[in-house]
Structure formats: C-alpha cells, structure tokens
Amino acid sequence: MMRVLNVDVTYELSPQAKGKVECPYRWLQDRIVRTCIYGQISEMEDGRSVLRDELNRYNNNQVHSTTGEIPNIRFESARKEGNSLFRKFTTPKPYTSAKDVFCLREKRIVNGYRRISLFKHVIEVPNVPLREDVDVHLVPDEGKKLMHIRIWWNNKMIHSVSLPLQGFQVHF
C-alpha cells in the first residue's frame, strides 16, 4: 500500500530521535494505567473512556515541553502554512477505488483454462492471455461476510467477484 501511494518509510537513525517519538507514548501509557488504578477502573470500556479523555487533554490542552505549544494548535498552523508532510488522499492511477489501495494483495498465474485458484476457489479470468500474472486485490467485508475480489492485469481491472468470506485465510 505504501508503494502504491508513493510513500517512503524513513527510519530514525539515532536513539535520541527514537526516544523523541517513544517518550510521549510511554508517558501516556503510564498516565492511563495510573488513572485507571486510582479510579479503580477494571472494565475495558471504562479504560477506553480514560484513554479518550487523556488523548483529548494531551492534544488540546497540554503545552508540550519541547515545542512550548499545544500539539493540535501547532499541527493546524503547520498544515495551514503548508509545512506538513500530510497531504490530501487521492486514488492513484490506474485505480478507481480506494479499495484497490487499501486491500490485501496476491499474485496468481492464469492457467490453461483462463482460471486462477485462490484459497480453494477457482475463478474465471476472461480476456487475459494464458500464463500471464494477474494482481488479485482482496477486500474483506465482515458485515456482509463476503470477500470482494478484484483482478487486475496490465493496469486494468478485468474482473471482479464476491465470494463467501468463509475459507479465506491470511498469512503474514
């Protein structure tokens, strides 16, 4: 997905830079745990409420010790000045839907019968030469219990089908 969106990953090269990122999260975790202990909170939903309140306080009220500014105000002013790496999302070409960006991906080779096999399902792939690679985009829909399958070849979506979600397994 990051490659499709043309986003590079930058790794911090020094312990100081890593600490700058990790320190606020460690501080936030410690504060949430202490707040839950003092408030005798043991239910997950009550803990989520503490987390939401703490995030709101940290982002909108607390002056940051390094920058001397409130984080959300600093972010909004940087965004307005164009001094931010955040940009508006646009679906990259040749894709027409965000589903083709934010999806699980597989590669398959079209067999002699113009079909591919995917998790014990055989899917017809029309208009693709035999033995060609196709990109398979898998978009799970938990609500409808379906797996939407979009098959791409030569930067064109050539087929889509929805199958029951049962039987699909993802291995990382």
Spell out the per-residue pLDDT of the chain, length 172, in tens.
Answer: 888 888 888 777 777 766 666 777 787 889 899 999 999 999 999 999 999 998 899 889 988 877 889 989 999 999 899 888 888 888 999 998 899 999 999 999 999 999 999 988 999 999 899 999 999 999 999 899 999 999 999 999 999 999 998 878 766 5
**Strand blocks (E) in the chain:** 104-109, 115-118, 121-124, 133-141, 146-153, 156-164
Per-domain residue ranges of the chain? 15-80, 98-164
Query: Rounded CA gap, 124 and 127, in Å?
Result: 10
pLDDT at residue 172, rounded to an integer: 56
Query: How far, CA to CA in Å, does 118 sit from each of 15, 99, 146, 169?
Result: 44, 19, 14, 10
- Report, in angstroms and rounded to the nearest whole number, the Rg of the chain calculated over CA atoms: 23
Task: Please say whether the beta carbons of 123 and 151 come within 8 A.
Answer: yes
pLDDT at residue 11, rounded to an integer: 78
Q: What are residue 20's phi and psi, to 5 degrees?
A: -60, -35
pLDDT at residue 157, rounded to an integer: 93
CA dihedral 16→18→23→28, nearest 10 degrees, is 170
